[in-house]
């Protein structure tokens, strides 16, 4: 006899009144509060500027000017053979500077390879920030001293590390927040998914800042994702998404401070998408004219973060011609010092090959170190004399 395919709702008697369990996909939280605003948040030209701290605004401006000059000098150093490669953040300085200034002293910055300016704005020696790109050291600075993780060249691999540090800090009871920076291309990596998923499940005190500069090398954002915005991806992980004008320095600072404070209060992670643009090529080895027009670049030059803030501060009477001149002079002095130091030939010690591999060297490494030391001695060279 053929059995009927009677549904639960059609069952007679008491079975019909039995409660039906909720579907497995039923949301655990209301997704509406997690959605980003339809348009990027802006502070410039709004009432928010009246309540802003003038000292902070001037500091943002000074760092933007210095950052632009830093980018130009580092790019010039690649042409002179002093750097192997430099991924410029020209046009994105507002994101870089706001990220550094929004962090508290105890917080950690997890930068990508394009975020050397953020590291410098946080207080790192500019030469140390460029050491990796020069090829002298794997990092070039002590991450623990500055609370800046090593610059990450592989896309998005620093994001799970940021989550791990933030989660560990919370378990220890330390008030520490990790800020992880990544480009739009990095959001296409598996590490991005894994980091956001773990961060949300663990409610880790971490903030993800995506600098959407339009391209993953030559691949435009439209060929990477069909999402309404990258900030909308936050909903799928169970965290709030924020959308901000990445060329509006006070706006980026405000959104970051809010997210960092939220994480510090134990309310979990936030995904922030800063809409900006990469004015220069991907690196000095890239020809950007092959995949974008000069007209497109010029449109974004008109939305330059330095000019936007400079105009606003001048209109508000916070910045005058003397202030503009002083910021430019300070930036030029920084570039001169950087140029002079980078033009000096580094002294390389071959024995450093063994110094930072393991805290306790293995027997094989000790044997190899002794062999190299003997070879150097036979050649009449001591440690630190090889150039």
Could you give the CA distance from residue 386 to residue 173 in angstroms, rounded to a whole number?
47
Asked whether residue 8 is assigned to any structural domain, the reply reads: no
Asked whether residue 24 is assigned to any structural domain, the reply reads: no
Q: What are phi and psi of 29, to 5 degrees?
A: -135, 160
Q: Which H or E run contains 241?
A: strand 241-245
Residue 19: C-alpha distances to residues 27, 64, 220, 358 (Å): 19, 61, 50, 60
Q: Which H or E run contains 370?
A: helix 363-378
Domain count across the chain: 2
Asked whether residue 78 is assigned to any structural domain, the reply reads: yes
pLDDT at 281: 93
Could you give the CA distance from residue 370 to residue 28 in angstroms, rounded to a whole number?
61
Could you give the CA distance from residue 171 to residue 345 in angstroms, rounded to a whole number?
45
Q: Are 251 and 245 in contact (CB under 8 A)?
A: yes
pLDDT at 277: 96
**Helix, coil or strand: residue 245:** strand
Asked whether residue 2 is assigned to any structural domain, the reply reads: no
Residues 89 and 121 in one domain: yes
**Helix, coil or strand: residue 275:** strand
Residues 126 and 238 in one domain: yes
Which sequence positions are flagged as catalytic? 278, 282, 291
Asked whether residue 216 is assigned to any structural domain, the reply reads: yes
Exposure b/e, 323-357, CB count within 10 A at least 16 = b: beeebeeebeebbeebeeebeeeeeeebeeebeee
Residue 221: C-alpha distances to residues 147, 202, 285 (Å): 31, 29, 21
Residues 269 and 289 in one domain: yes
In which residue are the tokens 């105009």 written? 311
What residues make up the domain containing 351? 347-387
In 77-229, at which residue ranges do the beta strands (DSSP E only) sit?
A: 108-110, 178-183, 206-212, 215-216, 219-220
* CATH number of the domain where residue 75 is located: 3.40.50.970
Asked whether residue 14 is assigned to any structural domain, the reply reads: no
pLDDT at 13: 56
Q: Are 95 and 274 in contact (CB under 8 A)?
A: yes
pLDDT at 169: 97
In which residue are the tokens 């509406």 written? 32
Residues 375 and 254 in one domain: no
pLDDT at 139: 81
pLDDT at 20: 67
pLDDT at 29: 75
Residues 354 and 338 in one domain: no
Residues 370 and 278 in one domain: no
Residues 229 and 367 in one domain: no
Q: How many Å from the N-terminal Cα to the C-terminal Cα in the chain?
A: 91
pLDDT at 270: 98
Residues 246 and 152 in one domain: yes
Asked whether residue 17 is assigned to any structural domain, the reply reads: no
Length of the chain: 387
Residues 156 and 219 in one domain: yes
Residues 118 and 84 in one domain: yes
Asked whether residue 240 is assigned to any structural domain, the reply reads: yes
**Helix, coil or strand: residue 188:** helix
Paired tokens of 206: 């971490």
pLDDT at 355: 82
Paired tokens of 292: 């974008």
Residues 194 and 277 in one domain: yes
Residues 120 and 190 in one domain: yes
Averaged pLDDT, groups of 10, the chain, 387 residues long: 48 60 70 94 96 97 98 96 94 98 98 97 96 83 95 95 98 98 97 98 98 95 94 96 98 98 98 97 92 94 97 97 98 97 86 85 94 92 54
Q: Which of 278, 327, 313 is nearest to 44 (CA)?
A: 313
């Amino acid at each position: 006899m053929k059995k009927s395919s009677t549904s639960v709702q059609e069952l007679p008697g008491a079975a019909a009144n039995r409660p039906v369990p909720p579907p497995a996909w039923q949301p655990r939280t209301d997704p509406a509060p997690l959605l980003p605003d339809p348009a990027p948040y802006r502070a410039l030209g709004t009432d928010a500027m009246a309540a802003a701290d003038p000292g902070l605004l001037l500091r943002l401006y000074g760092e933007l000017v210095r950052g632009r000059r830093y980018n130009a000098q580092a790019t010039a150093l690649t042409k002179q053979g002093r750097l192997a490669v430099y991924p410029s953040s020209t046009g994105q300085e507002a994101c870089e500077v706001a990220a550094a200034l929004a962090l508290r002293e105890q917080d950690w910055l997890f930068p990508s390879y394009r975020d050397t300016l953020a590291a410098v704005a946080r207080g790192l020696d500019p030469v140390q920030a460029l050491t990796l790109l020069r090829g002298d050291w794997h990092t070039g600075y002590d991450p623990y001293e500055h609370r800046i993780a090593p610059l990450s060249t592989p896309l998005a691999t620093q994001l799970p590390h940021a989550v791990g540090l933030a989660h560990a800090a919370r378990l220890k009871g330390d008030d520490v927040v990790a800020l992880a920076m990544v480009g739009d291309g990095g959001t296409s990596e598996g590490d991005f998914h894994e980091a956001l998923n773990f961060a949300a499940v663990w409610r880790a005190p971490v903030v993800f800042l995506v600098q959407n500069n339009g391209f993953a090398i030559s691949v435009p954002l439209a060929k990477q994702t069909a999402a309404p915005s990258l900030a909308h991806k936050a909903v799928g992980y169970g965290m709030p998404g924020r959308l901000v004008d990445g060329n509006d320095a006070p706006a980026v600072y405000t959104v970051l401070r809010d997210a960092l404070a939220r994480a510090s209060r134990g309310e979990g992670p936030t995904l922030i998408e800063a809409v900006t643009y990469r004015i220069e090529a991907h690196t000095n080895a890239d020809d950007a004219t092959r995949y974008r027009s000069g007209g497109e670049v010029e449109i974004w030059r008109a939305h330059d973060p330095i000019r936007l803030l400079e105009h606003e501060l001048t209109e508000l009477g916070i910045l005058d011609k003397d202030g503009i001149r002083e910021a430019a002079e300070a930036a030029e002095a920084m570039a001169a010092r950087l140029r002079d130091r980078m033009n000096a030939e580094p002294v390389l010690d071959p024995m450093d090959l063994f110094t930072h591999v393991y805290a306790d060297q293995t027997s094989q490494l000790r044997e190899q170190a002794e062999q190299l030391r003997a070879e150097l001695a036979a050649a009449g060279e001591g440690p630190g004399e090889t150039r």
